[in-house]
Structure 1
Amino acid sequence: MTAPGGDRWRRTRPRDELEPPPVGAAAEDAEPDAEEVARTIALRQLTAAPRSRAQLEQSLAKKDVPAEVAARVLDRFTEVGLVDDAAYADMLVRTRHSERGLARRALAEELRKKGIGPEVAGAALEQVADEDEEAAARHVAEKKARSTQGLDRQVRRRRIAGVLARKGFAPGVAMRVTDEVLAAEGAEDGAVWDDDPL
């Protein structure tokens, strides 16, 4: 847009408007309070998804929040129940086991990565009984067996055992459950499988 005189007309603020005023709230130090910043970051993280204390500490460190400030804020959050590693570990074990079929070994590794200590992790893992783990292994194996129908039996056996191993089941459990699932499938079809090793 050009002004009547032909000069380009620009909307600019006078230089003195860009400087903070000499009096009033804007004239005071505008540096935000470190604890307020830490609280905001932590609350934003917790609103998005549950987090362990260690995860929140990492988030705050990435935002250059001083360690002592982070500790004060997280101590307060722990006092009021916003941060609870035991409850977080229980929730993670329960959901990962039921939704993903993870074995205790895989769950323990995931808890370790989330910064949950061995004592708290051990207590959370107690909610997965041996029979629960066996049922989860069988469910995973049956699901994989359905998706591999039509393939060679040994290929299916390797794939089913492989998915169980990735979910943290011990090799002996993975092979036994795989063979039981395939045997039951063969019995339903009237087929007889041999027990060739991998």
Structure 2
Amino acid sequence: MDADPAALARAVVLRQLTNSPKSRLQLARKLAERNIPEDVAGAVLDRFEEVRLIDDAEFAQMWVRSRSQTRKLAKGALRRELAEKGIDEETAAGALEQVSDEDEEALARELVVRKLRNARGLEDRAERDKSVRRLVAMLARKGYQPSQAFRIVGEAVAAALEEADSDA
């Protein structure tokens, strides 16, 4: 006996939303994995949107807040992640407005300073260059622009060297 596809779809969506908030596209993909017919999936997802259990704008806001704070991601990386989750450009842009350029820069600086605390041998040019490359690469993976990453890392390394000189 086959279960009612709509009942199965509702159960799948509810279970997914219990674990964590999801975008409509993520839920549609889950339903497709479970071989729920597209028309049934669409109707169930429409109903969940009507009762505001699915809200891509709210999801995008939450995603940006969470990922910018916990992972220190730049707007570029956040925009890519939202697109992968099916969030349209306009909704993503609205959610990204909550991260100012100053906030983004402060998050990058915080990351770099934390990594530099354990850095050794910055006085040696080769070691310093290696640290700079690693730190810039880390920021690039988090979506920061190369020019911004080099500037922030350069300023932080200079400050670390000054601090080391004043301690000596």
Q: TM-score, normalized by length of structure 1?
A: 0.79
The 5 Å alignment of 1:65-84 reads 65-84=36-55
CA distance in 1, matches of 2:14, 2:118: 42
Q: Which residue of 2 aligns with 1:121?
A: 92
Paired AA for residue 21 in structure 2: P
Aligned to 2:67: 96
The aligned counterpart of 1:59 is 30
| Deviation, structure 1 residue 34 | 1.0
AA matched with 1:48: N
* Counterpart among 153, 157, 164 of residue 178 in structure 1: 153
SS in 1 for 2:117: helix
Partner of 2:7: 36
For 2:141, the equivalent position in structure 1 comes to 166
Structure 1: 5+ residue stretches without partners: 1-29, 192-198
Q: Match for 1:94: what amino acid?
A: R
User: Which residue is equivalent to 2:117?
Assistant: 146
Superposition RMSD in Å: 1.2
SS of equivalent to 2:52: coil
The count of residues paired between Structure 1 and Structure 2 equals 162
CA deviation vs aligned residue, 1:13-68 (integer Å, no higher than 9, x gap): xxxxxxxxxxxxxxxxx321111000001111111111100000000011110111
Q: Which has the higher contact order (CA 8 A, sep 6+)?
A: 2
Helix, strand or coil at the partner of 2:40: helix
State the SS of the aligned residue for 2:162. Answer: helix
Q: What letter corresponds to residue 149 of structure 2 in structure 1?
A: A
Matched AA of 2:144: F
Give the whole-Å Cα distance in 1 for the aligned partners of 2:82 and 2:63: 8
AA at the equivalent of 1:179? G
Counterparts of residues 182-193 of structure 1 (less than 5 Å)? 182-190=157-165
Q: C-alpha distance in 1, partners of 2:137/2:115?
A: 10
One-letter code of the match for 1:188? E
- Which AA in structure 1 matches 2:89? P
Asked whether 1:50 is paired with 2:50, we answer no
TM-score normalised per structure 2: 0.93
Which one has the largest radius of gyration? 1
Deviation digits for residues 91-124 of structure 1, max 9, x if unmatched?
1101100111100000000001111111111110
Please say if 1:135 is aligned against 2:135. no
What amino acid sits opposite 2:153 in the alignment? T
Name whichever structure is richer in helix by fraction. Answer: 2
| Identity value in percent | 48
Q: List structure 1 runs of 4+ shifted beyond 4 angstroms.
A: none
